[in-house]
Every structure is written in structure tokens, then in C-alpha cells.
Amino acid sequence: MKQEQILVLGATGKTGRRVADRLTSMGKNVRLGSRSASPAFDWHDPQGWADVLKGISKVYITFQPDLAVPAALEAITAFTKEAVAAGVQQLVILSGRGEAEAQRCEEIVMSSGIDWTVVRCDWFSQNFSESFFIEPILSGHLAVPRTETRVPYVDVDDIADVVVAALTEAGHTGKVHELTGPDLLTFHDVVNEISRATGREIQLHPISLEEYAAMLEEHGVPEDYRWLINYLFTYVLDGRNSGTTKGVEQVLGRKAKSFAQYAVETAATGVWTN
Ligand SMILES: NC(=O)c1ccc[n+]([C@@H]2O[C@H](COP(=O)([O-])OP(=O)(O)OC[C@H]3O[C@@H](n4cnc5c(N)ncnc54)[C@H](OP(=O)(O)O)[C@@H]3O)[C@@H](O)[C@H]2O)c1
């Protein structure tokens, strides 16, 4: 019998790369969804989706840049329709916690008529080591608004483990797994943990949303990303997510990784000091 093939979108990104690696080491047949793969997958090129979906039975969907952006609903609707038409039997979608727009995209997947699982996550710890906050951490100065908001950062290794469980084990169909880390941290706490783990001094500079927007523009951040960052800081970091869940523990039967542990492990890689 032919082995099932699993498509991982965002396969070079923070969660996708880890999900693809785990599935491959389990001996699963994985197709990488990337603009540099062959066939290529690009959210901006729906013409190319049919080739990427050929022979696929399960898909891990990660949207770029975020399910909250206005274009996401149309793209997720079109992709879901095409996946179902291509014979896909299961969709697992990565979503953001506390984002009404993302939840509208989840609903498209939930009403697809095929098996679905939503993995709804809080902010990733790895935003400080593999994404937009690494540069300020390296410079020793993190200037952000909302420095008092408490966030339950979740580790992407835990997210990847949950996604792989949803794709390979029974019992996840029709479920929303809401994932957070085990503790709530302000930006002050984050900077303290990373300073402690690296032995480097990192200063936090509280600024207003307006100052932050102007700073991003000055640094040449593209307009759509500035829109997204403004949205995240205005709505998602307003304190609505200042509570933890037991999602990781419920799915994996073990505790979620703490930010302190993430900081120690990440410091040991040298990414914050090289
Ligand atoms: N970061 C967070 O804290 C957080 C929290 C909750 C939810 N999320 C969700 O996570 C998702 C991804 O976020 P991320 O920050 O983790 O991503 P990421 O690591 O930055 O990954 C980017 C990935 O997206 C791919 N990509 C970029 N543009 C693309 C396009 N036009 N078409 C197809 N693929 C494209 C890249 O692949 P190639 O360059 O190889 O094509 C890369 O694999 C978003 O939907 C967001 O809502 C993020």
C-alpha cells in the first residue's frame, strides 16, 4: 500500500521546520511547502497549489504572515476548498490566541467537511531567538510598548510535538488545542531571563505605541508588517492572553517548557552572543 504523504506549509519556518524534521525521522513521507521547494508553494500564487496538493492526504497549515491579516480569510478559504477537492483528508492549522480574525480562518477549516485540528498558540518564545526580537536582543536594547503585559510564551518545540501528535495519532479530530507556556512574563521578565542565561546586559526601554510605529518605519520595516505588529501590540497584547492553559500537558502528558528553560537552552547555542 502506498504510504500517505503529509504536506507541511511554512516548512522552513519556526514550527514547520520542526514538524517536518520530526515527521521525517518517524519515517513519514513529507512534502515541504516552501517557495523554494519543487513544486513551489506560495500563498500569493494559487495557480501552483494543485501541483503541491497532488497525492497529499494531510496538511499542516501555517499562514504567512499571520491569520489576522485581511488577506488571510480569502486565502484560507481558497486553499481549504482546493485541498478538499484534491482528496486531502485531514487539516491541522496553526492559529493565534486572542485574535478574532484568526478565529474566522479557523472556522473555515472547521467547516471543511474533513478531519481538522486547530493548534491555537500564544506568542512563541522563539520570537526572541529566530524572529523579529532577535536583533534588539543582540543589540542589548529592547524598545517596546506594553512592557507590563504578562504573556505566557510557548516554546515552538512543544508546538511541533503537539502538531505531530495531531497528524499521527488518533483522538485529535475536531479539537482546538490551546497552547501556552507554564508562566506569565512581562518584557521586563523576558529581558531578565535572557540576561541571566547569557550573562549579557540587556536593557528594556518602555516606549509608546506611536514611538514604536515610528521606529519600525525608520528601520524600513514594510508597511504590511508594520500593520501586523501594530495590531499585535494594540489588541493581542492588551492583557487578554494573560492566563495559561494546560494544552501542552493535556496532549503530550508532560509539562510545557518554561521560558527560563528555553532561555538557558538557547543561550547554550550561542545565538545571542555570537
Ligand atoms: N510568532 C508567533 O509568536 C506566533 C504566535 C501564534 C501564531 N503564530 C502564527 O504562526 C504563523 C507563522 O508564523 P512564524 O512567525 O512562525 O513564521 P516563520 O517562522 O517566520 O516562517 C515563515 C515561513 O513562511 C514561509 N513563507 C513566507 N512567505 C510565504 C509565502 N508568500 N508563501 C508561502 N510561504 C511563505 C517561509 O517559507 P519559504 O521562505 O521557504 O517560502 C517560512 O517557512 C502565522 O500564521 C502566525 O499567525 C505565530
Ligand 1, pocket-test mutation among 62, 131, 190, 233, most atoms within 8 A of CB: 62
Nearest atom, ligand 1, residue 16 CA: 43
Q: Quick one: pLDDT at residue 272?
A: 96
Q: Say what the pTM is.
A: 0.97
Residues in the chain: 274
Q: What burial letters (b/e) apply to 155-189, b meaning 16+ CB within 10 Å? A: bbbbbbbbbbbbbeeeebeeeebbbbbbebbbbeb
Of all protein residues, the one whose alpha carbon is nearest to atom 47 of ligand 1 is 66
Angle, CA of 159, 160 and 161, to the nearest 5° = 90
Measuring CA to CA, which residue among 250, 216, 224 is closest to residue 135? Answer: 216
pLDDT tens-digit profile of 178-224? 999 999 999 999 999 999 999 999 999 999 999 999 999 998 988 88
C-alpha cell at 49: 497549489
Q: Which domains does the chain have, with CATH numbers?
A: 5-124+154-180+243-252 (3.40.50.720)
Task: For ligand 1, say whether the CB of 180 is within 6 Å of any of its atoms.
Answer: no
Q: Is 118 in the pocket of ligand 1 (CB under 6 A)?
A: no
Is the CB of 14 within 6 Å of ligand 1? yes
Quote the cell numbers at residue 54. 497532488
| Ligand 1, atom 22: closest residue by C-alpha | 13
Residue 250: predicted pLDDT: 98
d(CA 74, CA 104): 11
Which of the listed residues 64, 125, 228 should we mutate to test ligand 1's pocket, taking the one with most ligand atoms within 8 A of CB? 64
Q: Which atom of ligand 1 is nearest to the CA of 35?
A: 41
101 in contact with ligand 1, CB cutoff 6 A: no
Residue 236's pLDDT band (cuts 50, 70, 90):
confident
pLDDT at position 12 is 98
Give the lowest-confidence range in 41-45, 124-128, 218-222: 218-222
For 76-94, the pLDDT digits (tens) are 999 999 999 999 999 999 9
* pLDDT reading at 1 higher than 70: no
Query: Does the pLDDT value for residue 157 go beyond 90?
Result: yes
Q: Residue 163's pLDDT band (boundaries 50, 70, 90)?
A: very high
Quick one: pLDDT at residue 224?
Answer: 86
Dihedral (CA of 157, 161, 164, 166) sign: negative
Tell whether ligand 1 has an atom less than 6 A from the beta carbon of residue 17.
no
Atom 33 of ligand 1, nearest CA residue: 42
pLDDT of the residue at 206:
97
pLDDT value of residue 225: 85
Ligand 1 in reach of 131 Cβ (< 6 A): yes
Query: How far is C-alpha 68 from the geometric centre of its chain's CA atoms?
Result: 12
Distance 65 CA to ligand 1 centre (A): 5
